[in-house]
Amino acid sequence: MEIIRNADGTLVVPVQPERRHDSDDSAESGPAGAEVEGAQASEAPTIRLLHPGEGGYDEALAEWDSQQNPDREPAVSTASGREDAMTLVHAVASSPDHAVKSAVEAIDDPEASGEALRHVLAGGVHSVEDFAAEVAEAEGGDPLPAHEATKIIGEVLTELD
C-alpha cells in the first residue's frame, strides 16, 4: 500500500499491526523457543492518518515524494536552488490566499527548488526546523513552525510534480 497525500496535507500511511499472541498456555514452542502456534498477526496492514507536525510526518512525506517518482536520483541541494526554495516557502507562507501555483511560477529554477526542498525533507524534523529559521533570517519575519513549513513543502512538491 502506498502513502496517500490528501489535499489538506494529511497523509494516509500503512501501519503494520503488532503481533498478538494467545495466552502462554495455548502456545507451543518450536526450536529455540520460537512460537509455532497461537501467534496471530493480521495479513493486511492498517492505516493511520498523519497531520503535519505529528511524529513521523516528515519521514512519511519524504517517502510519499519518492513514491511519486521512484526512479528519481537522491535529492541534491544547490545554493541557488536553496535560495529559490526559501523564497518560495516564504512567498506561500505570507500569501493571503496561500498561492502555491503563482509562487512556483515566479521562481527561476523550479527543479532546483524542488530538489532543495526534497533535501530538507530527507533530513527530518530538525532539518525542517533549521530551514524554517533560515527562511526567516533570509526573508524576514518569525520562523514558521516545523509542521507549517513541512505542509508548505508538501504543497510545493505536489505543484512541481
Q: Using CB atoms within 10 A of its CB, is residue 69 exposed (0-12), middle (13-18) or buried (19+)?
A: exposed
pLDDT score at 32: 54
Across the strands, what pairs with 15? 46
- Per-residue confidence in pLDDT tens, the chain, 161 aa: 789 988 888 889 998 777 776 655 544 555 554 554 444 555 666 889 988 878 888 888 888 888 888 887 777 788 888 999 999 999 999 988 878 899 999 988 899 999 999 989 888 888 999 999 999 999 888 999 988 999 999 999 989 87
Residues 115 and 88 sit within 8 Å (Cβ to Cβ): no
Q: Using CB atoms within 10 A of its CB, is residue 73 exposed (0-12), middle (13-18) or buried (19+)?
A: exposed
